[in-house]
Amino acid sequence: MTKNVSIIGASTAGLLTAKKLADHGMAVKVFEAAGHIDSTPRSLIVTGHLPKMLGPIYQSALVNVIHRFELYADGRVAEISLRQPDLVIERSKLLQDLAEQAKDSGAEIFTNHRFLGLKPNGNHLAFNITNNGNGKPVEEYTHILVGADGAFSRVAKSGGWPKQVTVPLIQAVVKLPEGMPSDTTRVWFLPEDTPYFYWLIPHSPTHGVLGLIAEEDYRGQSHLECFIERKKLEPIKYQSARIPIYRQWVPIHRKIGENDVYLVGDAAGHVKASTVGGVVTGFRGALTVVDTILNKKNSTNLKVLRRELDLHALVRKMLQDFTQTDYVKLFDMLNSPVMRSLASFNRDETVKLLFHLFLSQPKFLLLGLRTILMNNFRSPR
């Protein structure tokens, strides 16, 4: 018997899940609450792992290629030339292309359908959908339900998963500073503004996005506006989103009655805590769910993903309370072997990257451990 799969949310992870399952002959329906596939522009920077998972699907959404990073902290500068370039993707275009690919594979996509709740129903799982076009609720039935409906997932809430902690991402489209190469991303560490960093990512030869991860919306907006003014730039338009923060692994599968419910993407919290990037990790989680559904057993890739996310959470814990002095010390430790490691291994190869960094500069480990111990001392649990 062919099992039906219903996916709630036409996110990037949800649409990739739909395509891959439909490719294997499964009957797939995608229900999206909005009236159309999200067309809100947002530039994303990802590693070269993306083509390995998507194949050529991503190519029309590719707007720029990054070969170099410039890192700044209190007057110090570190320049990293990447052996494998990063890719700048237009998220709205990627969503549209994934939706077309999913439909071409046989998946059905229904917009204007908002998920309300679920309940077991014998051999099927019943869930309620409101048709936003006419306001009438509809009861649907499925064998497998996949929640791909973002950080505030209704599927996760209905299935009993814990609520996620989220942070605001705020960025502005700006004209690139005079003389800035369009293949270079700039990153500034200013812990008095944000425990993360500011970034300026070119998405064309003349323009890019300058942004930060904030702890509170209003402070993030204020800090970004002041930083833009200090850099003598003009905001053309703003982009924002709320991003889940991964703190610990949460199982992505639950049984509701006799049926299976899974979470993918932001709904599963598959976001790197160190950089708050979730495109590649979201796709990796989606592919593990696809593998689990098709092979009726847990994918070994899920353990690999969990290890990666746990390591990013450890890095975030090390950096969370870094002061400007700590960043200066860190920059002073950037010897030639460290720079080669940063150039050779990207943020989606955390195990290899950390191993080579600590091997190249053992003081990194000591600095990180000291920061964690001081953090625990200041905030006992």
193 and 206, same domain (yes or no): yes
Tell me the per-residue pLDDT of 25-38, one tens digit each, with 9 for 90 and over.
999 999 999 988 98
In this prediction, residues 31-58 reach a mean pLDDT of 91
Out of 35-49, 106-120, 289-303, 331-345, least confident range: 289-303
pLDDT at position 381 is 36
Q: Is residue 49 part of a domain?
A: no
Q: Is residue 137 part of a domain?
A: yes
Which contiguous run of DSSP H or E holds residue 62?
A: strand 62-73
For residue 251, count other CB atoms closer than 10 A to its CB: 11
Question: Where is the domain boundary, 284, 312, 340?
Answer: 312
- pLDDT category, 1, cuts 50, 70, 90? low
Tell me the per-residue pLDDT of 73-109, one tens digit each, with 9 for 90 and over.
999 999 999 999 999 999 999 999 999 999 999 999 9
197 and 181, same domain (yes or no): yes
Q: What is the CB-side half-sphere exposure of residue 11 using CA atoms within 13 A?
A: 25
- What is the percent of the chain where pLDDT is above 70? 94
23 and 144, same domain (yes or no): yes
257 and 373, same domain (yes or no): no
Q: Is residue 52 part of a domain?
A: no
27 and 172, same domain (yes or no): no
pLDDT at position 136 is 79
Tell me the per-residue pLDDT of 214-256, one tens digit each, with 9 for 90 and over.
987 778 999 999 999 999 999 999 999 999 999 999 999 999 9
The count of domains in the chain is 3
178 and 255, same domain (yes or no): no
Q: Is residue 53 part of a domain?
A: no
Q: Is residue 226 part of a domain?
A: yes
234 and 373, same domain (yes or no): no
pLDDT at position 38 is 82
Question: Where is the domain boundary, 312, 342, 358?
Answer: 312
Q: Is residue 356 part of a domain?
A: yes
Give residue 267's identity as a one-letter amino acid code.
Answer: A
- Is the model's pLDDT at 379 over the cut of 50? no
Question: Where is the domain boundary, 225, 244, 263?
Answer: 244
- Is the model's pLDDT at 320 over the cut of 90? no
97 and 86, same domain (yes or no): no
Q: Is residue 54 part of a domain?
A: no
CA angle, 115 then 116 then 119, to 5°: 105
Domain range for 373 = 318-378
217 and 277, same domain (yes or no): no
pTM to 2 decimals? 0.91
**Integer CA distances (angstroms), 154 to 8, 81, 122, 161, 230, in order:** 9, 42, 22, 10, 41
Q: Is residue 51 part of a domain?
A: no
Query: Which residue would you say has higher pLDDT here, 55 or 2?
Result: 55
194 and 236, same domain (yes or no): yes
- The residues, ordered by sequence, that sit 6+ positions from 365 with a Cβ below 8 Å of its Cβ are 358
27 and 117, same domain (yes or no): yes
**pLDDT mean across residues, the chain:** 90
129 and 227, same domain (yes or no): no
Domain CATH code at residue 257:
3.50.50.60
Instruction: Give the CA-trace dihedral at 246, 19, 143, 250, to 10 degrees.
Output: -10
Tell me the per-residue pLDDT of 258-298, one tens digit each, with 9 for 90 and over.
899 999 999 999 999 999 999 999 999 999 999 999 987 66
pLDDT at position 365 is 64
